[in-house]
Homo-oligomer: A and B are copies of this chain.
Amino acid sequence: MNYLYIAEFYNLSITTLPMKIVVLGADGYLGWPLSLRLLRRGHRVVGVDNLATRRAVEEVGSDSALPISSPQERERAAKELGDFKFVFGDVTDYQFVKELISSEKPDAVVHFAEQRSAPYSMKDVEHAVYTMHNNLEGTLNLIYAVKEAKPDVHVVKMGTMGEYGTPNFDIPESAFVEVEIKGRRDRIPTPKFAGSWYHWTKVYDTYNMLFANKIWGLTFTDIMQGPVYGTRTEEIVSERFFTRFDFDEVWGTVVNRYCVEAVLGLPLTPYGKGGQTRGFLSLEDSVEALRILIENPLRWDPTGTSTSS
């Protein structure tokens, strides 16, 4: 079988059966390298994107510092690694999402298809409302599509460490936490306090998934990932496999942007007051962590206790 051949070729050990995985946002900084990793592991990947990030980066007069291929060229390159298909589509179109889940019947859906820039969301009311609509509607559509078409799908959703703000307690790796309030104990959703409209949309997605898990038993893994840096993974071995590398103030994540600014001798551009402390993750570690999560899903439990975050 194809996946065994690939595993041997790359000296990977395959311990799970090949899965069919839909990656929403497959044209993005993380979506593209994750798709390559999943293909190399022998999984079938349906990559979905509306190419919004390409347009939005143009909107602020910028471009990826590394040249990235067209979606058509990416599809050809990905097919060398395994069973890949690119689908142009928008997660804010419910009929599209519903038909995607109905027809592909994936084992897992990875949801990266959100507006991902805090500064972009804070530009003005138009960008705030766009971010709120786009992100919440995509996740709501996915929730309903999974509920209607295939409720045992494992949804892997990208959140952010920024959902937590900077609390005084140790951030737990759980959706709920035990607290004491005025002498009484309760179990509450892990407290959040975001720092931009973008980060708030991630908080609201989290609550919407917790609610959908509670009432319908759908299965979510809600990933609170720190900022990712870097350009390479094991699969990115030539220009055809490059992922985007944004470096401007709006779309460049912090370490990537600082590297470009340092190389060019420009002043570093911290966002806000620059007082945040965060854990950072290399692109390779991010992709590998996601791969492990996807291959080791929570079991679907219609009684509604399977959400982790």
Contacts and interface: CB of A to CB of B under 8 A. Distances in A.
Contacts of A204: 200, 204, 207
Interface residues of A, number: 41
Contact of A167 (B177, B186, B208): B186
Interface string A162-205: 00000111101000011111101110110111100100100110
A168 B185 contact: yes
A137 B144 contact: no
Contact of A186 (B184, B191, B197, B200): B191
Given A137-B132, A182-B169, A191 B189 contact: yes
Interface stretch (A33-41, A110-118, A123-131, A229-237): A123-131
Nearest to A184: B169
B169 A186 contact: yes
B189 A181 contact: no
Contacts of A309: none
Contacts of A140: 125, 128-129, 132, 197
25 contacts: A94-B126, A124-B144, A125-B144, A132-B137, A132-B140, A167-B186, A168-B184, A168-B185, A169-B186, A170-B182, A172-B182, A177-B182, A178-B181, A178-B182, A179-B181, A181-B191, A188-B193, A189-B191, A189-B192, A194-B207, A194-B211, A197-B208, A197-B211, A200-B207, A200-B208
Interface of A: 94, 124-126, 128-129, 132-133, 136-137, 140-141, 144, 167-170, 172, 177-182, 184-186, 188-189, 191-194, 197, 200, 203-204, 207-208, 210-211
